[in-house]
Amino acid sequence: MPKDYYKILGVNKNASQDEIRKAFHKLAHQYHPDKGGDAEKFKEINEAYQVLSDPAKRAQYDRYGQVFDRAGAGNNASGFDFSNFNWENFDFGSDFGASGSSSFGSDIFDLFSDFFGERSESKNRKKKTDNRGRDIEIDTNITLEEAAFGTEKEISFRTYIKCDNCNGSGYEPGSKQKTCSECKGEGFIRYRQRTIFGEFTQIRDCPKCKGRGKIPEKPCRKCGGDGRIYDFKKIKISIPAGIRDKETIRIKGEGEAGLFGAPSGDLYAKINILPHPVFERKNDDLYTSIFISFPEAILGTKKEIKALDGKKIILKIPAGTNSGEIFRLRGKGIKHFNSLGYGDLYVTVKIKTPQKVSSKAQKLLEELEEELKED
């Protein structure tokens, strides 16, 4: 009696190829002999998958209930015959790594799917290498004032920049391009390799044309054909008002230049705000301290404070202020980065005690002390 391959994989007869593949992967994990599964069941699953993953074989199976060339499936390019394979001597961990990843750079069960009816070369065609330039991160120091009010900063750094002689093309102006003799214009080379699962094809970029498929008759004399040179780059970046310490600004397309005129990477400017001699920043609030004399603390006073923007602020200090008291000035801090409004300015009052006083001042202080005792 013919086997019901749909039932074996647990899918219905209208299942898509993607559903069949996912079902096979799930069951392969479950019944793999090296994971304590049933070897016979695993071979049955493989047999069903070889048929249902091949459109021609699946159509034949749906019509006749069997596949007439199935006996030779183990030796063709679509599958692997597990009937004589010694699972007991196969070390899944050492051959493919503890995580199940092979040296081929793909999951073991993705590799199974490539040999059980879906060849990697027929399934996908490897794209040419992305010659885009790398992203760059640099540190940029700014003052607290620049962070608070925004600024435009010129920065300089060394990286690959587009060659100005060939404009990134890699060949001399006016020079023609010819088809690469190594890859015949495809940009990649196929390498065939045999494994325990059969023969498979790896596709790599052509080393001669570096994936382009064409090579110039006359490479650029300045960049040697790469389309870029290593040199200093100067740009101006706009730093928005309210930016915080360690935040990063992305400048699109200002990173490393790509090969052969490919797009440049991005530049990431990490902002470092330098310490300020007067103010300390916490989020969008500013903190500072002022000193007053003992009589000023008792009698009260007014103090002039210069804000971060240079404007003068008069702070009224009431009589009887203690050392360490904090006064809040609303809206005198840093502009909010992503919303309207400003932070606040907090001023801590400290009483300055003189180290030496005159005899007259000492006498007056003693009298004041006695006066305060009576109160």
Domains 5-123 and 280-374 in one fold:
no
Among the listed residues 53, 52, 77, 80, the one whose alpha carbon sits nearest the alpha carbon of residue 66: 52
Q: Identify which of 198, 197, 215, 199 has the alpha carbon closest to the alpha carbon of residue 207.
A: 215
Architecture of domain 280-374: Sandwich (2.60)
| pLDDT given for residue 196 in this prediction | 60
pLDDT of residue 369: 76
pLDDT (0 to 100) of residue 73: 39
- Closest CA relative to residue 80, chosen from 199, 178, 171: 199
- CA nearest to 336, candidates 248, 239, 244, 237: 244
Q: What is the pLDDT of residue 66?
A: 62
Domain 5-123, CATH? 1.10.287.110
**Domains in the chain: boundaries:** 5-123, 132-160+226-275, 280-374
Task: Return the pLDDT at 111.
Answer: 45
For the structural domain made of 132-160+226-275, what CATH number should be given? 2.60.260.20
* Regions in the chain scoring below 70 on pLDDT: 1-2, 34-35, 66-130, 195-198, 374-375
Give the pLDDT of residue 263. 93
Q: Tell me, what's the pLDDT at 242?
A: 93
Residue matched to tokens 């048929």? 51
DSSP for residue 55: H
Q: What is the pLDDT of residue 119?
A: 37
